[in-house]
Amino acid sequence: MQDETLPLPIQSPLLSASTGAKIRHGFFTRHGGVSDGIYRGLNVGLGSQDEREAVLENRKRVANWFDLPLEKLATVHQMHSPDVVVIDSTYDGERPEADAMVTATPGMVIGVLSADCGPILFADAQAGVVGAAHAGWKGAVYGVLENTIDAMIALGATRANIVATLGPSICGENYEVGPERVESLKELNPAHAAYFSPSPNTGHAFFDLKQLTVDRLIAAGVKAENLGLCTYPDEDRFYSYRRTTHRCEPDYGRQISAIAILEN
């Protein structure tokens, strides 16, 4: 296994300005890990075929960046669902089936994995409540963003105080979808037509999932930011499911986006 320098994640100007020193967050890249080959770097995907020892070391490095041990890093078994779970001090390391988490418990790191889908980190620093959501097209259109906000409010957050940032994910110019996706999303909501642009391939279209995500966050009443980072062309920093598929590679790594309320 290689041994890169420790992780140095990307941070959100909006989250950083809004949370101060009470909350720490990071959109981790593939830099700073020990995985090799097609997983080179900080692959945290337990569902990948990477060596488990390497994945656990990478996850430990993420937790350590927050000055916390590996057992304080909570993730979920992502299903492209709108489901959200609450994480607290009783977290036992199991990964419940869901696509978002919220917590008001200091000293817990909550993180979502991605490799083209949108990782969104949420925070209400005044209330001391944070959230993390994984939103592919299914999660985005079926409510994972709104459900995360509602779950934060149930823990004491205030909608007007919540800020949210969309991290590294695939951009519209690299996200071509077939006619069945175009039609199904337009049937679900005619307003979705605004997120499609013409493709050279008949019936296909480019889909701007990033803009859809940010628009839904704003419509839900929170302040939102898009970091504008595209996973597909940036192989040095990001894993990409679509890039892997186009290359006919056997598997792919996953990066993590994580947030924690710091202990006093």
**Residue 21: per-residue pLDDT:** 86
Query: Is 58 within a domain?
Result: yes
- For the chain, the average pLDDT equals 96
- In terms of residues, how long is the chain? 264
CB neighbourhood size of 60 (10 A):
16
Nearest to 150, CA basis, from 91, 227, 236, 86: 86
Structural domain count, the chain: 1
For 150, the token pair is 């509602």
Residues of the chain scoring pLDDT < 50: none
Give the integer Cα–Cα distance in Å for 107 and 30. Answer: 24
Range of the domain at 232: 13-171+208-261
pTM of the model: 0.97
Query: Is 104 within a domain?
Result: yes
Query: Is 254 within a domain?
Result: yes
Please, is 141 exposed, middle or buried when counting C-beta atoms within 10 Å of its C-beta (0-12, 13-18, 19+)?
Answer: buried
DSSP state at residue 220? T
Q: What is the CATH number of the domain that holds 80?
A: 3.60.140.10
DSSP state at residue 85? E
CB neighbourhood size of 4 (10 A):
17
**Digit-coded pLDDT (tens) for 94-118:** 999 999 999 999 999 999 999 999 9
Query: Is 3 within a domain?
Result: no
Query: Is 156 within a domain?
Result: yes
**Phi and psi torsions of 17, nearest 5°:** -70, -30
Q: Are strands 176-177 and 223-226 parallel, antiparallel or unpaired?
A: unpaired
First to last CA, the chain: 36
Query: Is 183 within a domain?
Result: no
For 132, the token pair is 């993390």
Query: Is 42 within a domain?
Result: yes
Nearest to 210, CA basis, from 122, 128, 145: 145
**Residue 202: per-residue pLDDT:** 87
Helix intervals (H) in the chain: 13-19, 52-65, 137-142, 144-154, 179-188, 209-219, 241-246
Query: Is 57 within a domain?
Result: yes
